[in-house]
């Protein structure tokens, strides 16, 4: 275990840097916290901070690019005959799966993302990247272009489900996030969102 010059344990993982930042954001606010503040709290240098995150805005999103890659791979792994909405539901729940120990930190993450005005432009870019992964999958399944209406509409609708589920989860401490996400996709089915292979129903 290495020590910083101040005698504190030096942080050595991305998650620990995130947690140190979330603590500061909670006390000082997002805009009131600098990268230097975070580096100092983490017991690392400014240069080391940038090895973990390109910017302060990226802290809330963690390893988002890595998770998107996993999501793309997961979507590609489903059998072609599995109904489209069931695949989307499973992939959405899997993408947002968190362990019990990480849940309190994930709540801080999502509160930050959903309620911090300074993050909204950055968040829009992340949402667009997420939608594109889903639209690409839907387009391949349906044999249409990714920028055509159906893949884009399904991607936007699924993102809307995710955001609505997260808002419910943040308001209701005892709620199960996975159940909220799955129920939200099921509601899309009940509203008769139909497309080739888009069989609706509970698994």
Q: Give the pLDDT mean for 2-30.
A: 76
User: How long is the chain?
Assistant: 203
Residues of the chain above pLDDT 90, percent = 79
- List, for residues 62-114, the tens digit of each pLDDT value: 899 999 999 999 999 999 999 999 999 999 999 999 888 889 999 999 999 99
3-state secondary structure of 115: helix
Give the confidence band of 189 by pLDDT, cuts at 50, 70, 90. confident
Q: In angstroms, rounded to a whole number, what is the distance separating the alpha carbons of residues 74 and 66? A: 12
Give the model's pLDDT for residue 203: 40
Of residues 74, 98, 97, the one with CA closest to residue 87: 74
Q: Is 62 exposed, middle or buried (0-12, 13-18, 19+ CB in 10 A)?
A: middle
- Strand segments, DSSP code E, in the chain are none
- Looking up tokens 């709620």 gives 175
CA dist list (Å): 140 to 12, 67, 193: 40, 20, 18
The DSSP call for residue 144 is: S
Residue 45 near residue 72, CB atoms below 8 Å: no
Q: In angstroms, rounded to a whole number, what is the distance separating the alpha carbons of residues 29 and 110? A: 14
Residue 45 near residue 39, CB atoms below 8 Å: yes
- List, for residues 146-156, the tens digit of each pLDDT value: 999 999 999 99
Q: In angstroms, rounded to a whole number, what is the distance separating the alpha carbons of residues 38 and 25? A: 9
Q: In angstroms, rounded to a whole number, what is the distance separating the alpha carbons of residues 27 and 29? A: 6
Residue 130 near residue 68, CB atoms below 8 Å: yes
Of residues 166, 179, 91, 98, the one with CA closest to residue 136: 91
Residue 160 CB contacts under 8 Å (≥ 6 apart), including other chains: none
Give the model's pLDDT for residue 41: 93
């Amino acid at each position: 275990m290495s020590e910083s010059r101040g005698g504190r344990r030096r942080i050595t993982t991305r998650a620990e840097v995130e947690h140190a930042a979330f603590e500061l954001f909670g006390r000082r606010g997002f805009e009131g916290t600098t990268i230097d503040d975070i580096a100092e709290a983490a017991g690392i240098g400014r240069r080391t901070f940038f090895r973990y995150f390109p910017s302060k805005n990226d802290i809330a999103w963690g390893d988002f690019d890595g998770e998107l890659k996993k999501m793309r791979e997961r979507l590609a792994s489903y059998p072609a005959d599995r109904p489209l909405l069931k695949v989307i539901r499973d992939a959405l729940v899997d993408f947002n799966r968190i362990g019990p120990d990480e849940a309190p930190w994930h709540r801080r993450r999502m509160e930050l993302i959903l309620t911090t005005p300074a993050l909204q432009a950055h968040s829009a870019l992340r949402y667009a990247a997420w939608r594109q992964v889903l639209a690409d999958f839907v387009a391949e399944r349906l044999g249409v272009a990714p920028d055509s209406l159906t893949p884009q509409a399904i991607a936007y609708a699924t993102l809307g489900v995710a955001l609505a589920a997260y808002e419910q989860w943040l308001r209701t401490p005892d709620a199960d996030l996975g159940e909220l996400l799955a129920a939200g996709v099921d509601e899309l089915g009940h509203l008769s969102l139909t497309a080739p292979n888009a069989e609706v129903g509970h698994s």
